[in-house]
Amino acid sequence: MLTKSSTELVRQRNSVLVLSVLRRHGALAHTEISDSTGLSSATISAITTELEKAQVIEKSEQQPASGRGRPRVLLRQRRDCGYLIVVIISSDAVQYSLVDYAGKLIDRFSEERSHDPAGAVRFVAAVRAGLLRILDRSKISQEKVLLISISSKGLVNSTEPVLVWSPIFGSEQIDFESALRPEWQAKVILDNETLLVAAALGAREEMVKGADFRSLAALSLGHSVGLGIVRRGNQTGQEISAPNFGHMLHMANGGLCRCGTRGCIEAYAGFYAILRSAFEVPLDTIPAKFVPVAELDKIAAKARQGHRVPAFAFRQAGLALGNGLSRMLSLTERMPIAITGPGTRYYDLLRQGIEEGLGQSHIVRMEGMPEIRVVADEQILVFEGHLNRALSVIDEDIVLSGVQGIQASATVQESG
Ligand SMILES: [Zn+2]
């Protein structure tokens, strides 16, 4: 069996490190790359020469501010090295974005999703058409698309791009990889939407706190309830997960949930659940598939005017969320909680219940209330999470396949 030599592996790891530093900081001079990575100047030279030859990075010159002296030579990712398509599936639309290798947005459009029951087969056909449409609009050749990064609410298989359960398609599974082959050769990845939100918030937080960053949870409120947890990994990088929070048990034999089970957190805190309790509809009524925000706004307005039942519906939703968060904290560790999603517009009505729900647990009584912050612009975070993850996957793939081919002709050593 042939194995790569250890020098080869070290070199690959260092190349990925250089690319990730350029991603994080943008264009950098040779010495800055050396400072950020801790690698020697000679190593940086060898790596950047090779990446430049492979047309992965490029040089640009920056005139000194004084206008005199030698220009600074900066290195950065080449925009046309390859492309990424981001597909964001939400309850009422699918958004397509085309992004170049340097992370610049080139084109974007959204298509409304029909709420017909034809389900997954028609949906997959619509996604394939959407992907071809964005390619056609930009006139980029299909082989230049290196990766298709998809996100949805719901449960995602941890190793394959398979949507296992979603609020939209229920347990009708979608395997995006086989749905897009053989038409597409690009790599296909699929992530839970709130996991991406947590990833983006974690990356932002680590930029500020550096080595002091430990962990953070993102709670997304809307038609469904999502949770993402990001924690510092053992070595470098972050560990991100999206437990099935919305369908964790809140109350045994409780209200009927969209998933078919009874008593889930979502059956008390999802938009449909708030609507159900505000209208005092029996808890075993099959919940509405899609509730317009305007409907919830009306209930919220009544609650703010002091009407008892609508106010109770929000408080009860908050309580379910607070209880759920306290269980999550008991199983992990104390961490800040960032609340996002369309439901943040009702945070004033949910807050009391959330704090009460948290305060009922031993862990919170012992360690105190975790920091809770409201973060708007969930859509920006989802996209940011896509870029962070997808571009680092592309960087790694390029180093492992593309550049290696070039290296192979020069220095490859194999032992077996
Ligand atoms: Zn459920």
Q: How far is the CA of 262 from the centre of ligand 1 (A)?
A: 7
Is residue 123 within 8 A of residue 130, CB to CB? The reply is no
Å from CA of 223 to ligand 1 middle: 12
Query: Of 130, 155, 185, which residue is a domain's last?
Result: 185
Ligand 1 centre to CA of 244 (Å) is 9
- Separation of 270 CA from ligand 1 center, angstroms? 10
* Distance between Cα 18 and ligand 1 center (Å): 44
The alpha carbon of 285 and the centre of ligand 1 are apart by a number of angstroms equal to 14
- Ligand 1 centre to CA of 258 (Å) is 6
Q: Is residue 389 part of a domain?
A: no
Distance 245 CA to ligand 1 centre (A): 9
Same domain, 64 and 169: no
Instruction: Calculate how far, in angstroms, residue 342's C-alpha sits from the geometric centre of ligand 1.
Output: 19
Give distance in angstroms: CA of 351 to centre of ligand 1: 22
CA–CA distance, 267 with 264 (Å, rounded to integer): 5
Q: What is the CATH number of the domain that holds 258?
A: 3.30.420.40
Q: Which residues surround ligand 1, an ion (CB under 5 A)?
A: 247, 257, 259, 261, 264
The Cα-based distances of 380 to 25, 108, 197, 200, 410 in angstroms read 19, 13, 9, 9, 43
Quote the Cα angle for 172-273-112, to 5°: 50
Give the residue among 273, 232, 411, 248 at the shortest CA–CA distance from 328: 248
Residue 260 Cα to ligand 1 middle (Å): 6
Query: Distance, CA 12 to ligand 1 centroid (Å)?
Result: 44
Distance 287 CA to ligand 1 centre (A): 11
In a domain, 382, yes or no: no
Shared domain for 268 and 405, answered yes or no, is: no
Please confirm whether the linkage preceding 71 is cis (ω < 30° from 0): no
Residues 54 and 97 in one domain: no
Residue 41's domain spans which residues?
3-77+397-415
Instruction: Compute CA distances 9 → 145, 204, 266, 291, whole Å.
Output: 26, 30, 46, 52
Q: How many other C-beta atoms are found inside a 10 Å radius of the C-beta of residue 416?
A: 5
190 occurs within a structural domain: no
Residues 371, 368: Cα–Cα separation, whole Å = 9
Which residues, other chains included, contact 101 with Cβ-Cβ below 8 Å and sequence gap of 6+? 77, 78, 79, 80, 81, 82, 83, 84, 146, 391, 394
The pLDDT of residue 380: 95
105-112 sheet: strands from edge to edge: 105-112, 93-100, 83-89, 145-152, 187-192
CA of residue 120 to ligand 1 center, whole Å: 20
Domain tally for the chain? 3
The rounded Å distance from CA 268 to ligand 1 centre is 10
Say whether both 213 and 360 belong to one domain: yes
Question: From the CA of 125, how far away is ligand 1's center (Å)?
Answer: 28
Residue 228 and residue 271 share a domain: yes
Residues 244 and 348 in one domain: yes
Do residues 20 and 86 both lie within one domain? no
Q: How far apart are the first and last CA of the chain?
A: 5
**Ligand 1 midpoint to CA 279 (Å):** 20
Look at residue 191 and tell me if it is in a domain. Answer: no
Q: What is the CA radius of gyration of the chain?
A: 24
Q: Parallel, antiparallel, or unpaired: how do β-strands 155-156 and 162-165 relate? A: antiparallel
pLDDT of the residue at 84: 97
Q: Are residues 331 and 248 in the same domain?
A: yes
Residue 392 lies in a domain: no
- Going from the Cα of 57 to the center of ligand 1, the distance in angstroms, rounded, reads 47
pLDDT in tens, the chain (416 residues): 456 678 888 889 999 999 989 988 889 999 999 998 999 999 999 999 999 999 999 998 888 777 778 888 999 999 999 999 999 998 889 999 999 999 999 999 999 886 666 688 889 999 999 999 999 999 999 999 999 999 999 899 888 999 998 888 888 899 999 999 999 999 999 999 999 999 999 999 988 888 889 999 999 999 899 999 999 877 667 899 999 999 999 999 999 998 899 999 999 999 999 999 999 999 888 777 778 899 999 999 999 999 999 999 999 999 999 999 999 999 999 999 999 999 999 999 999 999 999 999 998 999 999 999 999 899 999 999 999 999 999 999 999 886 544 444 333 333 33
248 CA to middle of ligand 1, Å? 7
Whether 232 and 105 map to the same domain: the answer is no
Residue 414 per-residue DSSP state = E
Q: Under a CB-based contact definition with an 8 Å cutoff, are residues 358 and 391 in contact?
A: no
162 Cα to the center of ligand 1, angstroms: 20
Residue 118: predicted pLDDT = 63
227 with 287, same domain: the answer is yes
381 found inside a domain: no
Domain identity same for 69 and 85? no
What spacing in Å lies between the alpha carbon of 257 and ligand 1's midpoint? 5
Q: Pick from 166, 185, 204: which residue ends a domain?
A: 185
**Residues 153, 173 within the same domain:** yes
- Domain stops at, among 149, 164, 185: 185
Question: What CATH number is associated with residue 45?
Answer: 1.10.10.10
Q: Is residue 180 part of a domain?
A: yes
User: Which pLDDT score is estimated for 413?
Assistant: 36
> Ligand 1 centroid to 407 CA: how many Å?
52
Residue 228 pairs in a beta bridge with 218
pLDDT value of residue 414 = 37
Asked whether residue 384 is domain-assigned, the answer is no
> What spacing in Å lies between the alpha carbon of 78 and ligand 1's midpoint?
45
